Structure 1
Amino acid sequence: MSNLSLQEKKYKNIIKVLSILIPLAVAALFGVNLKKLGFDVKPLTFLPPIYASINGLTAVLLVVAVVAIKKENRKLHEQLNTLAIGCSLLFLLMYVAYHMTSDSTEFGGEGAIKYVYYFILITHIVLSIVVIPFVLTTFMRAKLGKFPEHKKIAKITFPLWLYVAVTGVIVYLMISPYYV
């Protein structure tokens, strides 16, 4: 077995673990409210507009990364996608911190807009879980120099990840009037 295939196997195992561990950790931490557990913490109510902006920045980075690779600027493409992964990680940390210190906000809209909101929210949540192994696999294939395989999966990863980033902003904008 070649060194590359051993390295790829190692990365695939890490991707499998992270693809399961991240959603489970977020779900577990989402249910933990430090205030209700008796900790004297201030709600981090300033975070939602920040992490919504990070989602918006992620969307912009993804689009610019695609433009960069179409112009054959591989280095910029890699840097932008690495930054987008960092932004997604930062978003996740802020999102968990907010929900561990603050009560969830209920959407107050009525009628058809309520169904639109919940459709966007549910698809955002589901695809944010689904996209994890895609992002990590796409990144791994590029790092291993497997560019035909990278390009093939990137065609799936890009629209999924872009949808998650954009709908994160939309969900924030729709629920922001109801924050206390």
Structure 2
Amino acid sequence: MKRTLTKTDRIAVPVIIALSILVPIIVLILMYLPERYNIFGTQTGIFPFFHAVLNGATALLLMLGYFFMSIKEYKLHRNVMIAAFVLSAIFLVSYVISKISNDPVPYGGEGFLRPVYFFILITHIVLSAIIVPLVLFTMYRGLTGEYEKHARVARWTFPIWLYVAVTGVLVYIFMWPYY
């Protein structure tokens, strides 16, 4: 059976792939800027707290969306997942602004917490890059009514997205004394 791309797939798939490549590259470049431009004149700790709130709210919405899907309340599931996507998009824009505005803050913890923190941080970073195409494809397939394809990719997207959201909060908690 030969697979053909639909008319919308011919546009959406390359856009999703391009965003999936560009977003992590842009974030990486911004982390290594030689000079910061504090656009809003904010203090260092403002952005991380805001990001933790967004990540925590996203995690709650993801769990609520999963619940609605499990009880077959698909309209509520869709609306909650769109809200989680919007919060994640706001997070991404805010994160980019924070990288432009503030120097990175090093982790100052010692002892057994140090390797725990770096394990959480590294897995969080790696999975945040992986989650971009997964979320975009999951949202696209759900919104275009391709529910079988949506469900197949959502099985991977949900746990990874939830992990990234929860570990985003954990990274903030670990870093809180150093902001």
Q: Would you say 1:89 and 2:86 are equivalent positions?
A: no
RMSD: 1.8
Q: Would you say 1:34 and 2:33 are equivalent positions?
A: no
Sequence identity, in percent? 40
In 1, Cα distance between equivalents of 2:64 and 2:178: 33
In structure 2, what residue type is equivalent to 1:128? S
Tell me, what secondary structure is at the counterpart of 1:109?
Answer: coil
Aligned length: 174
Q: Would you say 1:66 and 2:39 are equivalent positions?
A: no
Whether contact under 8 Å (2:36, 2:103) holds in the other structure is no
Whether contact under 8 Å (1:134, 1:153) holds in the other structure is yes
Measured against aligned partners, the alpha-carbon deviations of 1:25-67 in whole angstroms (never above 9, x if no partner) come to 11122223334xxx78634421211111100000000000011
4+ aligned runs moved over 6 Å, structure 1: none
Equivalent position of 2:17 in the other structure: 16
Whether contact under 8 Å (1:44, 1:98) holds in the other structure is no
Whether contact under 8 Å (1:43, 1:98) holds in the other structure is no
Whether contact under 8 Å (2:39, 2:101) holds in the other structure is no
Equivalent position of 2:49 in the other structure: 49
Equivalent position of 2:138 in the other structure: 138
Measured against aligned partners, the alpha-carbon deviations of 1:139-159 in whole angstroms (never above 9, x if no partner) come to 111122111111111111000
In 2, Cα distance between equivalents of 1:43 and 1:4: 46
Instruction: State the shift of 1:4 in Å.
Output: 7.2
In structure 1, what residue type is equivalent to 2:31? F
| Unaligned runs of at least 5 residues, structure 1 | none
TM-score under structure 1 normalisation? 0.90
Tell me, what secondary structure is at the counterpart of 2:65?
Answer: helix
Equivalent position of 2:110 in the other structure: 110
Instruction: State the shift of 1:89 in Å.
Output: 1.2
In 2, Cα distance between equivalents of 1:55 and 1:80: 14
In 2, Cα distance between equivalents of 1:18 and 1:111: 39
| Unaligned runs of at least 5 residues, structure 2 | none
Measured against aligned partners, the alpha-carbon deviations of 1:56-86 in whole angstroms (never above 9, x if no partner) come to 0000000000111112111111111111111
